[in-house]
Structure 1
Amino acid sequence: MNFTDLKLSATIVDHLPANLTAATEIQGLAIPEVLAGRDLLALAQTGSGKTYAFGLPLLQTIINDAVESREVKALVLVPTRELALQVAEALKLVSASTEITVLCGGVDKAEQLKELEQGPQLIVATPGRLLDLLRQQQLSLKSVKQLVLDEADRLMEMGFWPDIERILEFVPAKRQTLLFSATLAPELNDKALKLLHNPKKIAAQAVNSVVADINESLYIVNKGDKARALIALIKQHKWSQVLVFINGRDDADKLAKRLVKADINAMALHGDKEHQQRQQTLEAFKACELQVLVTTDLLSRGIHIDALPVVINIDLPSSAPVYVHRIGRTARAGDNGIAISLVCHGEADNLKAIQLLTGRELELEALGGFEVTDQPSSGERKRAPRDKKANRRSQNKRSAKDFAAKRTKFPAK
């Protein structure tokens, strides 16, 4: 389907990137509904073109608004500053006539206040910084007509929902609300229905599914061999770019240093890094100046990296939906991709949760050169349960002996 078939204005279609020749499935489903003014609950895999699915009709509504005013007419809420910057950048490419401002933490508030003085019509924000500005009455959302919650499941997972509910107190009740998510847990579904008025539900894929163009491999390795296995895979395949997911921030730094020692061009990126450092590292990776980027789940959502060939989980995430989002960094917008997970016996429960969520059998393979010597947990106690009363009796006896010993050592004068 062509974008011109979606009743988008020539002003917007003419400014679309040259490589966008046809609308994706989610864009074809969502754009007509948004232009019709309906509330929307949209399920789409990460990398399916969600930003333009809600962004293009938002921009067209703002451009066509007969009232020329420098007031915020559309608000997009996202879970991370990286995603906020990416969404704003994509929308600015399409509409130079719409003033767009990004509001997120980690950035000098004074600079953001200067941008607000320019009268933006569209704001892309993370909940924390936006709520802070609203409480200080440094921003008004009284003219907002369209509200978007992008990566809604991630907003909930990161604990932003209470902030979102407070932000809604500053937004007119009469508005169009669009909720986009890659997964839909029952709790999110219940909360979403409270925000939306008679919404149209659309889905560009089965709920919690994985993109078909991703070639998945899961290798069983010893926990202590994971770093060596990662290095061996990178050197063997000579991939131009590899995005590596790990669960801990400190572990990300340690792994990046180990990769550098192995003569692999690598850096770590996580929430403890300064905003400027994070941006520079991400831009270097996007520009292919960096071969391996080791990151936490900071980059598991929404971040687009052109033609990223490989994603590797050195740790399986404890949250099954996060696995779907992580490997969704590759095979975006119709490209093919590879997703590899290095799994140890201690992650058996995480693997079962992923299999249950996605409804697929994920076979564990042996990795050449890495013999597995770790033994799976039997699930049984190593020691028999103790008699709690006997424990208390023993503790009482020890306490009495200790007291007597102290009295002997320090006689009363």
Structure 2
Amino acid sequence: MLFTTLPLSPQLVTALPTTFSNPTEIQTLAIPAIINQRDVLAIAQTGSGKTLAYGLPLLQQAVEKPSPISALVLVPTRELAMQVDESLGLIANNLHVTSVCLCGGVDKEQQKAVLATGPQILVATPGRLLDLLSENTFDASNISTLVLDEADRMLDMGFWNDVQRIIEMLPIQRQTLMFSATFPDVLANKAKALLDSPEFIQVQNTDIQVNAITEKLYLVNKGSKTKALIDQIKKYNWQQVLVFISSKDNADALCKKLNKAGLCVAALHGNKNQAEREATLKQFKEHEVNVLIATDLLARGIDVENLPVVINIDLPSSAEVYVHRIGRTARAGKSGIAMSLVCHGETEYLEAIRKATQRALPLNELDGFPVTDKPSTGESKRAPRDKKANRRTNQKKSIKQFQGKAKR
């Protein structure tokens, strides 16, 4: 199928970059429903093309019915906001449509000045948008279409109260589009309250995406993970590697160790200000930095074209986060490698991931890194006499009782 077969104007199709040839499944299903002014509830994995699934109809509406601030796209993170705005901007510039990205870490006065020019499309994170709305910075009465992108992530990150406060400030009569990678029961209840007889679209592209990803899982000692990571990067001479880690502090520590080993590495996490985050991601995309260490805050916000390798130096406790992490590679029909370094203490996480993904995900040994750690039995390692000594200590009331016997 070609974009010309969808209910898109010739002007919009002509404005598409030449690299856009065939619409993805989510685009084929969602675009007609959105053009027909239906509310939409779409479940699709990251990398499936959902940004343009709602973005192209928004751009067409902006061309056919020019009106300042007529569409709002809410996303959970700054990185995703900038990514969506950039994707829309590639086409919007050819149509003389303007969009603006509103997120934290950027001067608010500068954003107010841009809003005063009357852009047609807003792409925003909940916190910053709520600040601007609370200050009556712009008129939201013309917003006719609301998009909730990565709705499940906004729920997970605790943004839903802000989302609801924003919705209360929008016109009741509007089109609402909800896009999500997963659809837990709590989100289903939110959708019922927000959407009016929506078109339900679920793209079963998970297997297609996973088949393009070669998943490799290795059992290693917890203390050997850093050396194993360095060994693998140097062994295969990967020029671009995204490493996921769960802790901000551990990200910086790992960054120092890898740099010391002669790798060109940078860390990206929530403690970095917006300018630092943008600069670091730009360096990674332009291969000035070969290894990027990131926390889960950015698992959905990082979109690097043709990223060949993703490595989990530790497994996430959530199976959904695992899927989003490895989904940074093998995007848009490309192939990629997802490697995970697993220790005995993470086997419960692995079982949860296996159950959720319905994949075997076998653990293999890594050459040169024999496993000497033993699985935990769940029993206390403290000797019985230590427990008795602890009870005797708790029974002492006087400081003299803690003093040893005098030597004679």
How does the TM-score come out when normalised to structure 1? 0.92
- The equivalent of 1:398 in structure 2 is 396
| SS of 1:87 mapped into structure 2 | helix
Q: How far 1:131 moved relative to its partner?
A: 0.5
- The equivalent of 1:35 in structure 2 is 35
1:207 and 1:238 map into 2 onto residues whose CA distance is 29
Q: How far 1:327 moved relative to its partner?
A: 0.2
1:404 and 1:335 map into 2 onto residues whose CA distance is 71
- The equivalent of 2:332 in structure 1 is 333
- The equivalent of 1:83 in structure 2 is 80
- Would you say the 8 A contact 2:243–2:313 is kept in 1? yes
Q: Give CA-to-partner distance per residue, 1:381-404, whole Å, 9 cap, x none.
A: 445999x9x988863x412x2389
Q: Give CA-to-partner distance per residue, 1:137-177, whole Å, 9 cap, x none.
A: 11221111111111111111111011001101111121111
Deviating runs (4+, > 6 A) in structure 1?
206-209, 390-394, 403-406
- The equivalent of 2:406 in structure 1 is none
- The equivalent of 1:229 in structure 2 is 228
Q: CA RMSD in A?
A: 2.2
Q: Kindly provide the amino acid, as one letter, of the partner of residue 7 in structure 2.
A: K
Q: How far 1:356 moved relative to its partner?
A: 1.5
- The equivalent of 1:57 in structure 2 is 57
- The equivalent of 2:293 in structure 1 is 294
- Asked if 1:270 corresponds to 2:269, the answer is yes
Q: Matched residues, percent identical? A: 56
- Asked if 1:250 corresponds to 2:252, the answer is no
For structure 2, list consecutive stretches of 5 or more residues without a partner in the other structure. 404-408
- The equivalent of 2:45 in structure 1 is 45
Q: How far 1:73 moved relative to its partner?
A: 0.6
- The equivalent of 2:162 in structure 1 is 163
1:89 and 1:181 map into 2 onto residues whose CA distance is 20
- Would you say the 8 A contact 1:45–1:209 is kept in 2? no
Q: Kindly provide the amino acid, as one letter, of the partner of residue 120 in structure 1.
A: P
Compared with structure 1, are the counterparts of its residues 372 and 404 closer, same or farther at alpha carbon in structure 2 (3 Å cutoff)? closer
2:29 and 2:181 map into 1 onto residues whose CA distance is 15
Compared with structure 1, are the counterparts of its residues 393 and 365 closer, same or farther at alpha carbon in structure 2 (3 Å cutoff)? closer
Compared with structure 1, are the counterparts of its residues 317 and 349 closer, same or farther at alpha carbon in structure 2 (3 Å cutoff)? same
1:69 and 1:148 map into 2 onto residues whose CA distance is 17
Q: How far 1:347 moved relative to its partner?
A: 0.6
Q: How far 1:257 moved relative to its partner?
A: 1.2
- The equivalent of 2:282 in structure 1 is 283
Q: How far 1:279 moved relative to its partner?
A: 0.4
1:125 and 1:74 map into 2 onto residues whose CA distance is 11
- The equivalent of 2:347 in structure 1 is 348
- Would you say the 8 A contact 1:210–1:324 is kept in 2? no
For structure 1, list consecutive stretches of 5 or more residues without a partner in the other structure. 407-413
Q: Give CA-to-partner distance per residue, 1:320-378, whole Å, 9 cap, x none.
A: 10000000000001000110000000111111111121122211010000000111111
- The equivalent of 1:211 in structure 2 is 210
- Would you say the 8 A contact 1:246–1:295 is kept in 2? yes
